[in-house]
Amino acid sequence: MQSPSEEAPAGGWESLPSWLLTQTAIHAHRLVADGFSSVGARGYHYRLLATLEHLGPASQAALGRRSGIHLSDMVATVNELTDRKLVERVPDPSDRRRNIISLTAAGKRQLRRLEKQLADTQEALLAPLSPEERHLLTELLSKVLDHHNR
């Protein structure tokens, strides 16, 4: 038990939304990373595979913009996924200096595994919340993020 002098003051920094968001984000990141590593993947792998499935084949630069993955990380991610036959890289017929990346059948199967793992992770992260509270939290976080992304 902490002595009164060791306890954080009520209403202090530990109750600030910025602190709570940061600490929750740390836990979320750890849970996602651990979950993805159990199926041999990383967060960038999921984001790239999901972007390809939803928006179709594209150049590495376009995929970087669409997925929010920086170009320096995009090259390494594409290389890793190409080596594992989860994506295919072919020269762009309209500009041979550029490559077009597309999702393979194996990539789609891996994406399904990652989606299942991500759903399990979301469940673990939000375990103390009711379905209504989860929905409200998602709406509020989206509203704050949308505001700052404008």
What pLDDT score was predicted for residue 12?
85
Query: Domains in the chain, ordered, with CATH?
Result: 25-121 (1.10.10.10)
Q: 89-121, pLDDT tens digit by residue?
A: 999 888 888 999 999 999 999 999 999 999 999
What pLDDT score was predicted for residue 97?
86
Average pLDDT over residues 21-42: 94
Give 116's Cβ-side CA count (13 Å radius): 8
pLDDT at 7 over 80: no
Q: Quote the CA–CA distance of 128 and 52 in Å, as a whole number.
A: 33
Place of tokens 């179709």: 56
